């Protein structure tokens, strides 16, 4: 049967199933196939904190959304065009996000009376009017997979588990994806169990062939490669990019990297990734708690390593006292906070930007640190290098505010040329710096950076003591002198303000916008997509995105003053807006949501349109 082939410019697919159904892997593989084809991509995994929530229930639903297009895109898409629902719970949990007309592929085998009852369906939505207006494709995914593997030497359980590969095969056929990388992946993944390689490959092919032969799928789609800058790309998540950035910081500084970390969602993947790179001189330590993790990192920094600790909000709260010690000691330290929804345990697998206040202000005493935030998954690589640059140059703790959205989301990354990465080499103190030629003054500062010398143990003649007690200027001796304390507090603040930060860039293509949208961190994509959509409709709007939150770019005040209105969308209740109002006396309009999910471009577009009307 010859199928019709239709060209699309963009598609959003959501794979949804039970948390044991392998939806994250299915989505990952589809993304990888799509990347191979050269589409631009953005992904959004969404999964419960429970490893295996009760099967078939709404809390157990895990999903993976992938948006791909023949042009450059900024978000994982607001609404799916296609939903793959592996059971009734997956259908029910995701249906509200689907516009009428969307394709729904359902695994009919799971639509049993018992499974329907678990999620409160009185009758099967496949039989009543629940799905009116949708293009429903009922597929007996489980039984067809088991049937396809009947000849193979695998248990029924293993055969059933391969149903996600049947779904992947079907979707790969529907969207004309190249699949050789998936076959190679399966060979690697199940290298020790060849029967599972055969089973999963057979399931994949059965899904592909099903699409080709069944009359239910009359159309096959193609999405042409996007026009992207030339170079070599790979698809990367924020956590992976951040880890590679830290490895790169070690290479570019020539320093050993020491990571102290305690497992915490969603930051643990950075610990896992860095623990694989010992050949770069990276040491990782899984500490007994969050406080020990940062303590060990600080101890390593004191010894001349690039000390790093990675965590999420609850961990940063525990590390606060040690961050203040690092402020007093004036040693380099990178603290990565992969933010998640709080307070307390909150929603550990959902995203939020509500740790900004803590990063800026959450310590005892006047304890300023540098704060930066990546704007997208691949930007995590460069943000990690920037955090290391500031920490090493200015001998200060730097908080890097990632979040669950950029950490687990992915996008194509144009691989940088290693030689083009910033040079992070440092000079350790090797000789006395006092005027008499024999004294060492551990708190004598570089006039430019205000950084103090980094004199590591093992350096003869520079033996000195540092500590949390207030230090006298230059000598570092204990001091209770009132004027000295006032001077040191102001100097530590000035040191952060002295950090060289690039000017804020504004995107305002026609230069006639009267409204500025200011964001920070992971909201870059949705804000950018909303601004583009408005401009395409002839509504001018300017976008600026803060990477440096402390210190802020020197031109920020001027930028803010050049617009009639400033709108600040944040996944918190207005933390950046509060700072902007306080510092720049700008009557910024906050747009805030804390649903644990990123903004949709559509909601921002609607909100901004209202603002534009009233200017």
Partner 1 sequence: MSEPVALKLTAKDFKSDQEVRWCPGCGDYAILAAVQQFMPELNIPRENIVFVSGIGCSSRFPYYMNTYGMHSIHGRAPAIATGLSVSRPDLSVWVVTGDGDALSIGGNHLIHALRRNVNLKILLFNNRIYGLTKGQYSPTSEVGKITKSTPAGSADAPFNPLSLALGAEATFVGRTIDSDRKHLQSVLRAAAEHEGSAFVEIYQNCNIFNDGAFDQLKEPGIRDDHLIRLEHGQPITFGKDGQFCVVHPPGGFGLEVRDTAATPAEEIVVHDATVADPAYAFALSRLPGFDLRNTPIGVFRSVRRPSYDSVVQAQVADAKAKVTETPEQQLADLLGSGDTWTIVG
Of 232-271, binders to partner 1 (CB under 8 A) are 232-235, 244, 247-248, 251, 254, 256, 258, 260
283 in contact with partner 1 (CB under 8 A): yes
Question: Is 175 in contact with 33 (CB distance < 8 Å)?
Answer: no
Restricting to residues 545-584, name those near partner 1 by CB under 8 A.
Answer: none
Determine phi and psi for 372, rounding to 5 degrees.
-135, 160
Nearest distance in Å: CB 392, partner 1: 16
- Parallel/antiparallel/unpaired status of strands 333-339 and 397-403: parallel
> DSSP labels for 57-103?
SGGGEEEEEEEEESS---SS-SS-SEEEESSHHHHHHHGGGPPTT-E
Restricting to residues 472-501, name those near partner 1 by CB under 8 A.
Answer: 477-478
Rank residues 183 and 494 by Cβ distance to partner 1 and give the closer one. Answer: 183
Contacts of 227 (CB under 8 A, 6+ apart): 70, 71, 72
432 in contact with partner 1 (CB under 8 A): no
Nearest distance in Å: CB 597, partner 1: 28
Determine phi and psi for 227, rounding to 5 degrees.
-85, 105
Nearest distance in Å: CB 490, partner 1: 23
156 in contact with partner 1 (CB under 8 A): no
Query: For partner 1, how many residues bind (rule: CB under 8 A)?
Result: 71
Region binding partner 1 by CB under 8 A among candidate stretches 274-282, 353-361, 507-515, 527-535 = 274-282
Question: Is 14 in contact with 65 (CB distance < 8 Å)?
Answer: yes
Question: Is 352 in contact with 594 (CB distance < 8 Å)?
Answer: yes
Question: Is 390 in contact with 358 (CB distance < 8 Å)?
Answer: no
323 in contact with partner 1 (CB under 8 A): no
Q: Which residues of 450-485 are buried (b: 16+ CB within 10 A; e: fewer)?
A: bbbbbbeeebeebebebeeebbbbebbbebeeeeee
Nearest distance in Å: CB 288, partner 1: 4
Residue (of 74, 581, 592, 44) closest to 353 by Cα position: 592
468 in contact with partner 1 (CB under 8 A): yes
Rank residues 299 and 557 by Cβ distance to partner 1 and give the closer one. Answer: 299
542-546, strands of its sheet edge to edge: 506-507, 542-546, 515-520, 565-570, 589-592
Nearest distance in Å: CB 378, partner 1: 11
Half-sphere exposure of 610 (CA within 13 A, CB side): 8
Site string for partner 1, 191-230 (x = CB under 8 A): ----------------------------------x--xxx
304 in contact with partner 1 (CB under 8 A): yes
Contacts of 285 (CB under 8 A, 6+ apart): 258, 259, 260, 261, 293, 296
Rank residues 305 and 513 by Cβ distance to partner 1 and give the closer one. Answer: 305
Cα–Cα distance measured from residue 347 to residue 596, given in angstroms and rounded to the nearest whole number: 7
10 in contact with partner 1 (CB under 8 A): no
Rank residues 429 and 531 by Cβ distance to partner 1 and give the closer one. Answer: 429
List 280, 432, 470, 574, residue binding partner 1 (CB under 8 A): 280
Region binding partner 1 by CB under 8 A among candidate stretches 12-20, 215-223, 466-474, 498-506 = 466-474
279 in contact with partner 1 (CB under 8 A): yes
List 136, 292, 338, 556, residue binding partner 1 (CB under 8 A): 292
């Amino acid at each position: 049967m010859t199928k019709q082939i239709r060209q699309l410019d963009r598609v959003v697919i959501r794979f949804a199933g039970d948390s044991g159904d392998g939806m994250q892997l299915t989505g990952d593989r589809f993304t990888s196939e799509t990347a191979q084809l050269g589409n631009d991509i953005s992904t959004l995994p969404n999964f419960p904190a429970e490893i295996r929530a009760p099967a078939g229930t709404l809390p157990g639903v895990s999903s993976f959304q992938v948006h791909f297009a023949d042009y450059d895109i900024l978000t994982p898409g607001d609404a799916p065009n296609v939903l793959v629902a592996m059971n009734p719970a997956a259908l029910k949990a995701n249906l509200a996000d689907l516009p009428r007309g969307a394709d729904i592929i359902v695994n009919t085998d799971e639509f049993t009376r018992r499974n329907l009852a678990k999620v409160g369906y009185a009758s099967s939505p496949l039989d009543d009017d629940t799905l009116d207006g949708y293009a429903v494709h009922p597929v007996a995914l489980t039984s067809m997979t088991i049937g396809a593997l009947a000849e193979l030497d695998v248990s029924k359980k293993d055969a059933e588990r391969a149903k996600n590969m049947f779904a992947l095969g079907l979707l790969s056929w529907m969207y004309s994806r190249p699949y050789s990388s998936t076959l190679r992946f399966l060979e690697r993944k199940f290298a020790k169990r060849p029967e599972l390689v055969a089973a999963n490959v057979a399931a994949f092919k059965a899904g592909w062939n099903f699409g080709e032969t069944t009359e239910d799928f009359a159309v096959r789609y193609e999405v042409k490669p996007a026009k992207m800058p030339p170079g070599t790309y790979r698809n990367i998540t924020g956590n992976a990019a951040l880890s590679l950035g830290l490895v790169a910081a070690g290479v570019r500084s020539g320093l050993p990297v020491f990571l102290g970390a305690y497992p915490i969602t969603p930051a643990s993947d950075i610990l896992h990734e860095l623990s694989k790179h010992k050949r770069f001189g990276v040491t990782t330590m899984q500490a007994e708690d969050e406080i020990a993790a940062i303590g060990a990192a600080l101890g390593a920094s004191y010894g001349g390593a690039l000390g790093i600790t990675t965590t999420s909000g609850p961990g940063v709260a525990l590390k606060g006292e040690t961050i203040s010690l690092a402020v007093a000691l004036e040693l380099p330290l990178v603290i990565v906070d992969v933010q998640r929804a709080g307070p307390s345990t909150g929603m550990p697998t959902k995203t939020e930007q509500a740790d900004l206040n803590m990063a800026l202000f959450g310590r005892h005493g006047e304890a300023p640190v540098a704060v930066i935030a990546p704007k997208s998954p691949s930007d995590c690589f460069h943000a990690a290098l920037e955090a290391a640059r500031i920490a090493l140059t200015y001998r200060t703790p730097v908080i890097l505010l990632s979040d669950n959205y950029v950490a687990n989301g992915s996008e194509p990354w144009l691989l940088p040329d290693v030689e083009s990465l910033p040079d992070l080499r440092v000079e350790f103190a090797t000789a006395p710096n006092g005027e008499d030629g024999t004294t060492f003054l551990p708190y004598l500062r570089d006039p430019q950076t205000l950084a103090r010398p980094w004199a590591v143990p093992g350096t003869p003649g520079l033996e000195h003591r540092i500590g949390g007690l207030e230090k006298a200027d230059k000598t570092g001796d204990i001091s209770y002198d009132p004027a000295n304390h006032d001077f040191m507090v102001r100097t530590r603040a000035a040191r952060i303000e002295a950090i060289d930060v690039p000017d804020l860039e504004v995107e305002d293509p026609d230069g006639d916008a009267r409204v500025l949208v200011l964001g920070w961190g992971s909201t870059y994509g949705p804000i950018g997509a909303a601004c583009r959509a408005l401009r395409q409709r002839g509504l001018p709007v300017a976008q600026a995105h803060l990477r440096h939150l402390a210190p802020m770019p020197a031109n920020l005040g001027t930028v803010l003053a050049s617009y009639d209105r400033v709108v600040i969308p944040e996944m918190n209740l207005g933390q950046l807006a509060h700072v902007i109002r306080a510092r720049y006396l700008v009557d910024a309009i906050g747009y805030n949501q804390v649903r644990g999910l990123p903004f949709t471009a559509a909601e921002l577009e609607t909100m901004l349109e209202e603002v534009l009307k009233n200017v």
